[in-house]
Amino acid sequence: MKLSEKIRYVGLNDTTTKLFEHQWTIPYGVSYNSYLIVDEKIALIDTAAAACREEFLEKIKDEIGTRPIDFLVVNHMEPDHSALQQAIREKYPDCEIVTNAKAVPMIEGFQGIKDNIKVIKEGETLALGETTLQFFMVPMVHWPETMVTWCPEEKTLFSGDAFGTFKVAPECVIDSKSDIFNEYESEMRRYYSSIVGKYGGPVQTALKKLSGLEISRICSTHGPVWENSIPQVLEMYDRLSASRLEKGVCLVYGSMYGNTAKAAEAIRAQLTAMNIPVQIHDLCEEDLSFALADVFKYDSLIVGSPTYNAGLFPPVSAFMEALKARGVKNRKFAAFGSYSWAGTSVKILNNLAAEMQFETVHDGISFAQGFAPEKFAADQIAQSFA
The DSSP-derived string for 303-325 is EE--EETTEE-HHHHHHHHHHHH
The tens digit of pLDDT for each residue in 234-267 reads 999 999 999 999 999 999 999 999 999 999 999 9
Q: What is the pLDDT of residue 218?
A: 98
Q: Where in the chain is the domain with CATH 3.60.15.10?
A: 7-241
Flag whether pLDDT at 196 surpasses 90.
Answer: yes
| 27: DSSP letter | T
Q: Lowest mean pLDDT of 248-257, 317-326, 370-379, name the range.
A: 370-379
Q: Are 138 and 158 in contact (CB under 8 A)?
A: no
CA 250/CA 295 separation, integer angstroms: 6
pLDDT at 375: 85
Q: What is the mean pLDDT of residues 329-333?
A: 96
Reported as a single tens digit per residue, the pLDDT across 210-234 is 999 999 999 999 999 999 999 999 9
Cα separation, 38 vs 8, whole angstroms: 8
pLDDT tens-digit map of 26-39: 999 999 999 999 99
Q: For residue 278, what pLDDT is reported?
A: 98
User: What does each C-alpha distance from 62 to 55, 57, 59, 333, 383 come to in angstroms?
Assistant: 10, 9, 5, 55, 62
Q: Which pLDDT value is given to residue 179?
A: 87
pLDDT given for residue 382 in this prediction: 97
Q: Is the dihedral of CA 308, 313, 317, 320 positive or negative?
A: negative
Q: Work out the percent of the chain whose per-residue pLDDT is above 90.
A: 98
In this structure, whether the domain defined by 7-241 belongs to CATH 3.60.15.10 is answered with: yes
Q: What is the DSSP letter of 21?
A: T
User: CATH assignment of 246-383?
Assistant: 3.40.50.360
* CATH 3.40.50.360 domain span(s) along the chain: 246-383
Measured in whole angstroms, the distance separating CA 347 from the mean position of its chain's CA atoms is: 31
Judged on CB neighbours under 10 Å (0-12, 13-18, 19+), 26 is: buried
- pLDDT band at residue 1, thresholds of 50, 70 and 90? confident
Per-residue confidence (pLDDT) for residue 178, from 0 to 100: 80
* H or E segment and range at residue 382: helix 378-383
